Amino acid sequence: MGRGKPWFVGLLHGQDWLSNYDHDIDTVLKVLKAARELREMYHNGIRKVTWLDGKMLYLIFYNKSLRTRNSFQTGIYQLGGQATYISPDQVYAPTLPEDMIPYQTEAISDVARVLSRYGDGIAIRIYGDAAKWIIGRGHKIIREFAKWADIPVLNMEDDVWHPFQALADAQAAFDALGWPKDLRGKKVVVSYAYSGGLKPLAVPQDVATMFAMMGADVYVAHPPGFELMDEAMNKAKEYAKHWGSEFKIVYDMDEAFEGATIVYPKAWSPKGFFPPYNSVVDKEGAKAYQDKFKNWIVTRERLEKAGKPYYMHCGPADRGQEVTDEVLDSYEKSLYFEEAENRLHVQKAVMAMTLGE
């Protein structure tokens, strides 16, 4: 491929990437193809190109991050551009009209248009406390940025979707399976796993929908009360219907794991304790309910009993709660660190496509 501009640079010039499902299957497959090529370049020692020379990406983190922040900053640097990190507590916090506080906040409509005058893209991460634990509010904020910005807006995770994580997971799965044309005939289980902390719905919803989009038979496993949003599950069912694949919800981890190709056990908090599904934010009630399901933990024995599927998790995994140390550190079919690396490659693909020319 050399150091000239490859086929994917500028392919989606000026477009937002707010959800994988704003785009058709062919476009998502092109992202994965580009990420595969970028990964090959990276491992062949080509780690700096000039495709985004002079481009500036603003990273607005309402929530902390290891993988997301560093993979975005590293990625745009390797593409020839640069990123500026913005913490909302160090500026007048970009805010929806209904939450404005004089001399403490600034309208998202203004922030988006100002940054559009300076740079070439805006990436945002917001969920949980930063979104007041009102499920869907984080996604609304990102959509508000996209409404007003004249440059691409990228979703670095909100309270509904985590698009770049799901893309990285899909890349890891395709790579482990030898890059089949699609994932038809592969059983993928997205399962609840216990954590004592409060976690958003974004990862399980996006991963289940992404694997359905790729044609897999998707099983979502969780205890009663951990149902995911209808918006996400209905989208997954649409893709299952498109491919003629299965989509099932089960309430037992071991039953779901049996015969699986890939298992993805991940904690999330029960939405019934939070608005708009509850009249108040009940964090303590959610934690107390989660504590009833400490046996939803992934062990080597559980994986071996299921037939040794590939293990996946977005990270950071809660060791000793979601999964044992042994699985993360020595299970031979863990894709945990491959997924983390792939964040770099899929994000570079989308940045090259949307910010490139």
User: All domains of the chain, ordered by start, with CATH?
Assistant: 20-160+343-355 (3.40.50.1370), 165-340 (3.40.50.1370)
CB-based contact 18:143 (threshold 8 Å): yes
Average pLDDT over residues 248-256: 98
Average pLDDT over residues 21-47: 98
For residue 258, pLDDT over 90 is answered with: yes
What is the reported pLDDT for 2?
42
Beta bridge partners of 105: 93
Mutual orientation of helices 336-355 and 163-176 as an angle, nearest 10°? 120
Average of per-residue pLDDT values in the chain: 97
Question: C-alpha angle with apex 230: 246 to 264, nearest 5 degrees?
Answer: 55
What is the reported pLDDT for 337?
98
Average pLDDT over residues 4-32: 97
What is the reported pLDDT for 210?
98
DSSP 178-193: T--SS-TT-EEEEEE-
Confidence of residue 1 (pLDDT cuts 50, 70, 90): very low
Q: Strand locations in the chain, DSSP E?
A: 56-61, 82-86, 93-95, 105-107, 121-125, 153-155, 187-192, 217-221, 247-250, 262-266, 310-311
Q: How far is CA 195 from the centre of its chain?
A: 19
Q: How far is CA 219 from the centre of its chain?
A: 18
For residue 3, pLDDT over 90 is answered with: no
CB-based contact 188:211 (threshold 8 Å): yes
The three-class DSSP label of residue 278 is coil
For residue 47, pLDDT over 80 is answered with: yes
> Nearest Cα to 343, choosing from 127, 121, 65?
65
Average pLDDT over residues 65-84: 97
Using a CB cutoff of 8 Å and minimum separation of 24, what contacts does 137-146 make? 137/96, 138/62, 138/200, 139/18, 140/96, 141/94, 141/96, 141/108, 142/18, 143/18, 144/96, 144/108, 144/109, 144/112, 145/94, 145/108, 145/111, 145/112, 146/16, 146/18, 146/112
What is the reported pLDDT for 150?
98
Q: Residue 159: what residue type?
A: D
pTM listed for this prediction: 0.97
Q: For 187-214, write each residue's pLDDT tens digit.
A: 999 999 999 999 999 999 999 999 999 9
For residue 4, pLDDT over 90 is answered with: no
Q: How far is CA 337 from the centre of its chain?
A: 15
